[in-house]
Amino acid sequence: MIDSSAISDAISQATGQVFHLAHHAASGAGCINQTYHLHGQDGRQFFIKLNTANRLAMFAAEAAGLNEIAATQTIRVPQPITHGIAGAQSFLVLEYLDLAGPDNGALLGKQLAALHRTQAAQFGWRQNNTIGDTAQQNEWSDDWITFWRERRLGFQLTLVARNGCSARLQQNGEKLMGRLADFFVDYQPAPALLHGDLWGGNHGYTVLDEPVLFDPAPYYGDREADIAMTELFGGFGADFYAGYRAAYPLHTGYALRRDLYNLYHILNHANMFGGGYARQAEQMMEKLLRSIS
């Protein structure tokens, strides 16, 4: 249920123009938040996400992440308008974009490559955020292998242990973390700005054929991690990969590291949803360990 008065006041204050909500409609997007398309009496439209009041930090981090990507001027993201608490709910109001345009994968690949050329001095980000519904640790590190071991795989494996997943999964995870250097023998990634949660459902195209990224979990890391996730659940065509590689060719060892990066997301799904994801993670670990044996 939307607190229309509080939300209207927040939009009015953020935009400097009085906003009165005329009506709203559930968007059906996302599985973590309630989402709505807002229509104002003056014709303006916005997109809003709602969650419990204690998730305000999640929305604040998402707004900061969108601003981080937008500042690169490489690829479009919805502009954050305002975020806050209304009653028992936290909210994030975003620019509304009509994502009914046709695919333009080649341009998406080219623009993602440009985003990845935005680099930092270290791996991580200035604040923590979330990946799905899970906390994501982004404390800065000078070393990528250490970052991936401690902030990504190690953190998820700690959650796995709390959630009662198999001892074998945890044992293989520890073994794999001890062998991470073997995946980087002739490769030193640069700290590139990543979307961080780049599955097929987090991109679209405007009616002007303009690629759009949304729902980011950004940090500075190996760009291969973004590309790997695009292959995890599908949703990206051959023209996307051709556009990306033409603009920013991948290292020849990418295929070896792809499952290593996607393991993080499968472990996260195991922690969020359970089911067969824990077994999938165990199989991925076994495959990865065989590849370096």
Catalytic residue ranges = 197
d(CA 188, CA 185): 8
Report the Cα–Cα distance between both ends of the chain, in Å, rounded.
55
DSSP 239-285: HHHHHHHHHSPPPTTHHHHHHHHHHHHHHHHHHHH-TTHHHHHHHHH
DSSP 223: T
Question: Which pair of tokens denotes residue 158?
Answer: 């700690």
Cβ neighbours of residue 109 under 8 Å, at least 6 residues apart? Answer: 239, 240, 241, 242, 243, 244, 245, 246, 247
Contact of 121 with 143, CB cutoff 8 Å: no
Residue type, position 217, single letter: A
Buried b / exposed e over 84-104, threshold 16 CB at 10 Å, is: bbbeebbbbbbebbeeebebb
User: Where on the phi/psi map is residue 10: left (φ > 0), alpha (ψ -120 to 50), or beta?
Assistant: alpha
DSSP 63-93: HHHHHHHHTTTSSB-PPEEEEEEETTEEEEE
d(CA 124, CA 128): 9
